[in-house]
Structure formats: C-alpha cells, structure tokens
C-alpha cells in the first residue's frame, strides 16, 4: 500500500472518530473561552478560534517536517501530524457551529457540515445536484432544514471525495516532510498553514457573519442582511 493510501485510510478512521469525540469537546471549548474572555463578542471569540487553530496546525506541521532529519522517524511523525490536523479541523468547525448557535447533534448532519467546510467550493457544486440550491451561509440549513434522506445522499457523495482529495494532499505532505536538513519543517508548516487558511476561508462562506452579541448565555442572531461571505474575512484574518 502506498503512503498516499495509508494517509487516506488513516484520515477516514480519524474523521469518523473525531465526528463523535469532538462534539462535546467543541462545546466545552467554547464554554471555556467564554469564561476566560467574558468580554468577547461572538466575532472576537471566533478570531481566537482562528488563531488557535492556525497556530496549532502550523506548529504540528513544522514538528513533523523536522522529524524527517531522523532516519525512520519521518513517516510515523507525519502520519501523526495528519491525525492532529484532521482532529483540529473537526474541532475548529464544530466550535464555530457552537458560536453560531448551530448544534448538529445528529451524526450525519454533523458529518455533512464538516465535510462541506473542509472540501470548500468543491462541495458546493456537488451538493447543488443533490440538495438543490445551497447558496452562502447555509450551515443552519444543514443542521435544521435539509431532509435526512438528502443528508445521507450528500454524505455518500462527499465522503469519498473528501478522503481522496484530502488524503492525496496530505500524502504529498507526508513525502515533502522527508526532505532532509530541516527543509521539510518549512514545507510541513507551510503546507499545514495553507490548508488551515483554506479551512478558515471556507468556514466563513458556510457559516456567514456571526451573531452580534450574547444575551443570557444565548446568541442574538443578527446577521447583516445582504452581507457577502468575504465581508468579515479580512477582519478575522487581521486579528492579533
């Protein structure tokens, strides 16, 4: 079995487990951040999630790349990095869902939400054929409005696409991280950083503008009418 095939198999296993394990973790993650930063608005808390997520996946990529200097250590470390990257991406997506007041309790709806964010624009064209018009900012529809029959059908289409596309990308990173003399560290960190940025950008399109404020622990859902998906991206990206 090739390294890319190993990566695909691992990603499938990690994704399946993360979709179950990371749901309560996401809720606790958001609750903890709100306790630690009680003055944060939903948008400010999302900025923190962005920074933590991007810093975490970039650091793990650099560490696995640096391990390529040690003979025999690179492949297992890079595969461990793939596990961390996938789990971090699922936790990030589900944490965003919590901030937006969108709670995908059903596993299949949760899976579709995560797959849509991680596949990005490639998911939208496929879903248009299965579900009909998707449009922007439709995370809430995934959780609340789309019939379960359509959810299951969409997951059967997106699941293999995700494993193939994502596994191939990460398989390439596995190889790149084996470059000696520490060059792999830069490639690993840079690759994870790019993938992390793409995930954040995709999440903006799927979730849209966050609610404007919290009231009594609940969200006040005041999405700006007519806002485009990219309107808030620069604000999030420029946060310290």
What residues does each domain of the chain span?
3-237
Q: Is residue 104 packed enough to be buried (19+ CB in 10 Å), middle (13-18) or exposed (0-12)?
A: buried
As a whole number of angstroms, the distance between CA 176 and CA 228 comes to 36
CB 121 within 8 A of CB 165: no
The secondary element (H helix, E strand) that includes residue 218 is strand 218-220
Model pTM? 0.74
Q: What is the mean pLDDT of residues 78-92?
A: 80
Q: By C-alpha distance, which of 98, 105, 86 is closest to 20?
A: 105
pLDDT in tens, 101-149: 888 888 999 999 999 898 887 777 777 777 665 555 678 878 777 888 8
Across the chain, what does the average pLDDT equal?
73
As a whole number of angstroms, the distance between CA 77 and CA 84 comes to 10
């Amino acid at each position: 079995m090739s390294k890319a095939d190993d990566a695909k198999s691992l990603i499938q296993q990690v994704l399946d487990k993360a979709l179950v394990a990371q749901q309560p973790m996401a809720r606790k993650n958001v609750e903890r951040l709100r306790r630690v930063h009680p003055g944060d608005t939903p948008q400010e808390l999302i900025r923190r999630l962005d920074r933590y997520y991007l810093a975490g996946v970039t650091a793990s990529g650099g560490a696995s790349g640096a391990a390529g200097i040690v003979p025999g250590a690179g492949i297992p470390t890079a595969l461990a990095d793939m596990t961390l990257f996938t789990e971090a991406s699922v936790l990030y997506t589900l944490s965003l869902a919590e901030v937006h007041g969108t709670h995908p309790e059903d596993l299949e709806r949760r899976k579709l939400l995560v797959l849509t964010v991680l596949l990005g624009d490639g998911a939208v064209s496929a879903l248009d054929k299965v579900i009909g018009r998707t449009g922007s900012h439709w995370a809430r529809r995934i959780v609340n409005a789309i019939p379960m029959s359509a959810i299951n059908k969409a997951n059967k289409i997106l699941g293999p696409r995700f494993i193939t596309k994502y596994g191939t990308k990460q398989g390439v990173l596995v190889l790149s991280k084996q470059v000696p003399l520490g060059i792999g560290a830069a490639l690993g960190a840079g690759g994870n950083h790019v993938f992390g940025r793409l995930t954040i950008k995709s999440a903006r399109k799927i979730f849209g503008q966050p609610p404007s404020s919290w009231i009594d622990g609940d969200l006040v859902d005041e999405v700006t009418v007519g806002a485009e998906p990219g309107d808030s991206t620069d604000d999030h990206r420029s946060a310290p």
